[in-house]
Amino acid sequence: MEVNEKIAVDHGLKPDEYKKICDLLKRVPNLTELGIFSAMWNEHCSYKSSRLHLKKLNTKGKKVIQGPGENAGVIDIGDDDAIVFKIESHNHPSFIEPYQGAATGVGGIMRDVFTMGARPIANLNSIHFGSTQHKKTKNLLRGVVKGIGGYGNCIGVPTIAGQTCFDQSYNGNILVNAMTLGLVNKNKIFYSKAAGINKPVIYVGSKTGRDGIHGASMASAIFDDKIEEKKPTVQVGDPFTEKLLLEACLELMSDKSIIAIQDMGAAGLTSSSIEMASKGNLGIELHLDKVPCREEKMSPYEIMLSESQERMLIVLENGKEDSAKKIFDKWNLDFAVIGKTTNTKNIELYFEKEKVANVPIKFLADEAPMYDRPWKKTKLPQKIKFTNNDFKKLKLNEVIKKMLSSSNICSKQWIWEQYDHTVMGDTIQKPGGDAGVVRIHGTRKAVASSVDSSAAYCYAHPLTGGKQVVCESWRNLVSVGAEPVAITNCLNFGNPEKKENMGEFVECIDGINEASKYLNFPVVSGNVSFYNETKDKGIKPTPTIGGVGLIKDYKDLMTMRFKSKENLVLVIGKTEGNLDQSIFANIILDEKKGPPPEINLFNEKNNGETILKIIQEKLALSVHDVSLGGIMIGALKMCIAGSKGIKFYKFKNLTNIYQYFFSEDQGRYIIEVEKNNLKKVESILKKNSVHFDLLGETTDKEIIINDEPTFTVDKVTEFYKGWLYKYMS
């Protein structure tokens, strides 16, 4: 086929990008070469709209072994143990085909982790759907949850935590972000940098088919009416094959025969081979007729761009091919020597003895476009002046019922019950808490992890929203008694060619960076997903933060459940009564304007470190951070988790009970302490200049407000846990 500008544009390239390709090559590329350029230069693989801004991120820290640039980030957790982790998006495929899109998202992120020599020990996910009234929402939710569970459960890795949100901005573009943590000896980490000349290049895993061709390009495109036609670009996953591949790769890694290893993710054989050669400053020669194919008459173009799942590319030491092949034969997986490293610094492809492509690696990697796209700053919105009239007609018990059973606060148990969260036997905090926690097998150490996003805050003011989501992650880890160590981010945005969207991205990055630096909470890996847009309607800016923290002794794990009656309940951190952008303002007062809550990074760090001191001194019985829904929702969740009630003391300080109970002021925690420990806790708080209020005391079953028994704990549990089950039935 004769290649021209129209064909290049059909491949997702811009006319000037096609011209640049022709200028670099000093000729017109053939179809296979064009396909390779389109894969390597699309947004998903080249980060052409985001690279410039991602360079600002704080990526260094005492415990960081590997920051961004590899398959996943790596942190040191002591005793030669390291945690490998990353979060990635699989948004477009999951909207088109929810089961396979979500399943292969989980499979892909696990390969990113075990390709570095780590055994996966935990999965998490952050999923966002359209309005609960939208006709597609239920089916998409059902399909995505089945896909995540189907893959993770079969491979035998626990899903320990997650987050689910609903908002109409996701009606045409849902978000499915998958995260994996793996455990590795820090001296046995594998990287993707090829080294040495004439080293064999090995293909292992499943056979190559026609599924997923143009998957990476589709992930960099805007949806239109022809969305159904894109189904062939969604990959098909097989968790049982992935389990075999995991075990075979880890077995091969115990021998000293691997020079470099890379999973075949987005853009398949193209990106894996080019990334390895580029990092090693080498060339690579591939013989495509040696690639194991499961379909007949596959062309070089199809073989290079297929995104069939459960495949890896390995550069081996010479003479190790036979022993490596035995391992993959034992696990019943394909193993083929398909090429070698060269000193040409080109990718050279052969098919049936004919050279079908020859492109300098640096044209595909270093020369990929990098755009400094125009962007627009978001002004901080004016505060809403709520008056007493806004609250006059409200009844507190009705407000509580409506808040607890609202889609973004209610329990997500219907979802996590479908995931196996106890497989491997090391999960010590299951979903439903502030963070999931897994023990490091055979030790006293445990790792805590959570995923968070706050699209409403980021949409109102991206800079503040970016800061907030990092602080939320920090608080969730602190709440389970973990020292926060590092984060991974999945940055989900609309079309970067629009100034507003690009501005949201730039300012969210600036906010994330500011909080990450101040809290010493570096970014070690991540992913950008642009073009989450359908028919000119983009999603709200949704940066998702996956945080990881360390608990030195798992017996110090803290939970949010109230432990026994007649204990004191304290709110740590100052309540200012800001209702702007709160769930209360949104669903009770129908007010969606105003700025997000202010972030004071000094208070965040100081309050969090003080809470950790109280936990270490064994003075706290339960801890929960105050987030969506404010103090009232936070306290009631602690009641529900512990099956205990609370008697709220008469509140003072603020003009309005609703401002006190439902504001989403940041940097706050609720803690339960024994009465005889109050003086010790007060002394630590005063010494660290941390504000606190006495909120109330725990009861057996009653929720008492203004001296009146308002609900029983069973009743609020029904409001909180019932909504999603009813909705999905």
CA 493 to mean position of chain CA atoms: 14
d(CA 576, CA 276): 53
Nearest to 495 by CA among 536, 526, 455: 536
Tokens read off for 87? 């979060």
d(CA 597, CA 572): 17
What is the three-class DSSP state of 73? strand
Q: In the prediction, which pLDDT does 662 show?
A: 96
Task: Give bridge partners of residue 256 from the DSSP assignment.
Answer: none
pLDDT beneath 70, residues of the chain = 214-221, 223-233, 652-655
> Computed from CA positions of residues 337, 343, 349, 351, in that sequence, does the dihedral angle turn out positive or negative?
negative
d(CA 493, CA 596): 19
Tokens read off for 251? 């077995």
Strands 537-538, 533-534: pairing kind: antiparallel
Residues of the chain with CATH 3.90.650.10: 191-366, 558-729
Q: In the prediction, which pLDDT does 652 show?
A: 67
How far, CA to CA in Å, does 59 sit from each of 188, 514, 549? 22, 12, 16
Task: Give bridge partners of residue 572 from the DSSP assignment.
Answer: 669, 692
Task: Kindly report the length of the chain.
Answer: 729
d(CA 161, CA 430): 7
Q: In the prediction, which pLDDT does 650 show?
A: 85
Q: Which helix (H) or strand (E) holds 472?
A: helix 462-479
Strands 446-452, 537-538: pairing kind: unpaired
Q: In the prediction, which pLDDT does 256 show?
A: 86
Q: Which CATH number fits domain 191-366: 2.40.30.10, 3.40.50.620, 3.40.47.40, 3.90.650.10?
A: 3.90.650.10
What is the three-class DSSP state of 197? coil
What is the three-class DSSP state of 687? helix
d(CA 670, CA 689): 17
Tokens read off for 673? 């302490």
CB atoms within 10 A of CB 223: 19
Instruction: Please work out, in degrees rounded to the nearest 5, the angle formed at the alpha carbon of residue 487 by the alpha carbons of 482 and 489.
Output: 145
Secondary-structure breakdown of the chain: helix, strand, coil percentages, each rounded to the nearest 5: 40, 25, 40
- Are 345 and 361 in contact, with CB atoms under 8 Å apart? yes
Nearest to 534 by CA among 229, 224, 233: 224
**CA-based R_g, the chain, Å:** 26
Tokens read off for 684? 């630590």
Nearest to 514 by CA among 482, 468, 475: 468
Q: Which CATH number fits domain 61-189+425-553: 3.30.750.200, 3.40.50.300, 3.30.1330.10, 3.40.430.10?
A: 3.30.1330.10
Tokens read off for 322? 């036979």
Q: In the prediction, which pLDDT does 655 show?
A: 65
Residues of the chain with CATH 3.30.1330.10: 61-189+425-553
Contacts for 507 with CB less than 8 Å, ≥ 6 apart: 377, 378, 462, 463, 466
Got the DSSP string for 155-181?
A: HT--EEEEEEEE-GGGSS--EEEEEEE
Got the DSSP string for 85-149?
A: EEEEE-HHHHHHSHHHHHHHHHHHHHHHHHTTTPEEEEEEEEEEE--TTSTTHHHHHHHHHHHHH
d(CA 97, CA 314): 30
Active site residues: 44, 90
Contacts for 84 with CB less than 8 Å, ≥ 6 apart: 72, 73, 74, 113, 116, 117, 118, 181, 182, 183, 184, 189
Instruction: Please work out, in degrees rounded to the nearest 5, the angle formed at the alpha carbon of residue 133 by the alpha carbons of 132 and 139.
Output: 65
What's the first-to-final CA gap in the chain, in angstroms? 52
d(CA 446, CA 81): 11
d(CA 238, CA 217): 23
- Are 462 and 508 in contact, with CB atoms under 8 Å apart? yes
pLDDT tens digits, 127-164? 999 999 999 999 999 999 999 999 999 999 999 999 99
240-243 contacts, C-beta under 8 A, 24 or more apart:
240/154, 240/155, 241/205, 241/206, 241/309, 241/310, 241/333, 242/107, 242/110, 242/111, 242/151, 242/155, 242/309, 242/310, 243/154, 243/155, 243/156
**Helices marked H in 558-629 — which ranges?**
583-587, 601-616
Q: Which helix (H) or strand (E) holds 685?
A: helix 678-687
> Computed from CA positions of residues 477, 84, 524, 38, in that sequence, does the dihedral angle turn out positive or negative?
negative
Using the 8-state DSSP alphabet, how is residue 289 labeled? Answer: G
d(CA 491, CA 493): 6
Contacts for 593 with CB less than 8 Å, ≥ 6 apart: 381, 384, 460, 580
CB atoms within 10 A of CB 441: 12
d(CA 427, CA 452): 20
- Are 98 and 159 in contact, with CB atoms under 8 Å apart? no
Fold of domain 558-729: Phosphoribosyl-aminoimidazole Synthetase; Chain A, domain 2 (3.90.650)
Q: In the prediction, which pLDDT does 654 show?
A: 61
d(CA 31, CA 20): 16
Q: In the prediction, which pLDDT does 502 show?
A: 98
Q: Which residue has the tokens 């003895």?
A: 353
The residue type of 30 is: N
